[in-house]
Amino acid sequence: MKHRRTALLLFALVVAFSPACRRPGGGSELILAGSTSIQPFADKWAEVFMQSHPDFGVNVQGGGSSAGIQACKSGACQIGMSSRELKGDELDLVAVVIARDGLAVVVHPSNPVRALRTSDVKQIFAGDIMSWRPLGGPDKRITVVTREEGSGTRGAFQELVMGKTRIFRGAITEDSNGTVREIVANDPCAVGFISLGLVNEQVRALDLDGAAATDENIGNGRYKLVRPFLFVSRGEPAGRAREFIDFVLSAAGQELVRKEGLLPVR
């Protein structure tokens, strides 16, 4: 008797759970995956969007630009988020620029160095300049902090600053903008690069080639470290994906972006 009761209970559990067992991608859920740089903003959009569309689930996953693009290609998500330009075999996807983001080279607020040339930054990250002294700072070893291989932010930095030169192997490597910021905020000798939107009072963004990292300078083209934030999809976005992208590109969506420190595209 007891066994039968246990079996029944188990069966009931399974039955109770099974309607909840929806496959991802099915039903009314829109899945975004990709760049962790875009993720916080996408979360913000999703939060606001779902307030006006309560029956419309938006699920934002990280994973990084490359993974997001791959997930989009394979159909695991409807929208891939990329913080770098598409390349190679990714070019058959449709990309929409939904915002632009400045890359800030950040140091500890106590660091006397306020401005650098892009070529200096390149030499620092190549491991050729090891001390702050030739740059006008104290005679201390520079703690270089970079992002990991595969990150869109690193990809953009590589493309915009480093060119063909490698970031040197001894650089401290972390896997998110937030972590880079934390480390720079705590180490007086550190330098790193993060999304301009994430610069706060804990770190200082350096002027590059005489231009401060401001929205204005990015707008007028004087600050050069800018990358696009892309939503990519297989073919023209349709249905729910279209609705969401339209919302992001709408005045309200873009205003949200501006508030968070990104550059609107409209």
> Segment near another protein (CB under 8 A), from 97-105, 108-116, 148-156, 241-249?
148-156
Per-position DSSP letters for 24-73, written without gaps between them: TTSTTEEEEEE-TTTHHHHHHHHHHHHHH-TT-EEEEEEE-HHHHHHHHH
Residues of span 214-253 touching another protein by CB under 8 A: none
Rounded CA-CA distance 248/197 in Å is 17
**Binders of another protein: how many residues, by CB under 8 A?**
54
> Segment near another protein (CB under 8 A), from 95-103, 113-121, 143-151, 239-247?
143-151
Is 32 one of the binding residues for another protein (CB under 8 A)? no
**Long-range contacts of 147-150, Cβ-Cβ distance < 8 Å, separation of 24 or more:** 147/173, 147/174, 147/175, 147/176, 147/177, 147/180, 147/193, 148/173, 148/174, 148/175, 150/64, 150/65, 150/66, 150/67
Rounded CA-CA distance 159/97 in Å is 18
CB of 24 to another protein, least distance (A): 4
Is 197 one of the binding residues for another protein (CB under 8 A)? no
> Segment near another protein (CB under 8 A), from 171-179, 211-219, 235-243, 247-255?
171-179
Is 66 one of the binding residues for another protein (CB under 8 A)? yes
Bridge partners of 116? 208
Closer of 115 and 168 to another protein (Cβ): 168
Q: Which residues bind to another protein, rule: CB under 8 A?
A: 17, 20-25, 36, 40, 43-44, 47, 59-67, 69-70, 76, 141, 143, 148-151, 155, 158, 166, 168-179, 181-183, 185-187, 189-190, 202
